[in-house]
Amino acid sequence: MRALIQRVSKAQVAVDGDIIGKVDEGMLIFICAMQGDSNAEGTKLVQKISKLPIFRDDQGRMNKSLLDVGGSALIVSQFTLGADTSRGNRPGFSMAATPDEGQRLYDTFILDFKALGISVETGQFGADMKVSLVNDGPVTIWLDTSS
């Protein structure tokens, strides 16, 4: 699985002009299931993300995790993280999981996050979404379970 994580002071996602998910202090997590991924990759990624020390401590250093600060997560599916541009400029998306498998893994990823007691908001799988955010820092981190 691939994830792009951004520390945010606020973020929201809208579909057809309606806000369907929003968070204040926390993370915006773009997630893409890849061909061959299983629940194990999702669980591994949830554990890593929830414990990633990217939030400031009392000295202003990035020493606290999402769990430590009691932050929220806005989780948005984004199959374009599976883009392959090795054959030129036009991205190919055959490395991303099929839509059915991608949705199943996305839904499981969300449930794993909620099981940790983290407040979770979501986008809508497969929808044309408008995402806005205030990236705090900025802090943006790329994670891939295959590397």
CA distance 30 to 140: 11
* Active-site annotation holder among 6, 12, 55, 78: 78
Catalytic residue check, 122: no
Q: What 3-state DSSP class applies to 58? A: coil
Establish whether 80 is a catalytic residue.
yes
DSSP 8-state code for residue 31:
E
Is residue 79 flagged as an active site residue?
Answer: yes
In degrees, rounded to 5, the angle at the alpha carbon of residue 49 between the alpha carbons of residues 106 and 113 is 45
E strands, the chain, in order: 2-15, 18-23, 26-32, 55-56, 62-64, 72-77, 119-122, 129-144
Question: Which member of 35, 47, 80, 98 is catalytic?
Answer: 80
Radius of gyration of the chain (CA): 15
Inter-residue contact 71 to 54 (CB < 8 Å): no
Catalytic residue among 30, 79, 109, 113: 79
Catalytic residues: 78-80
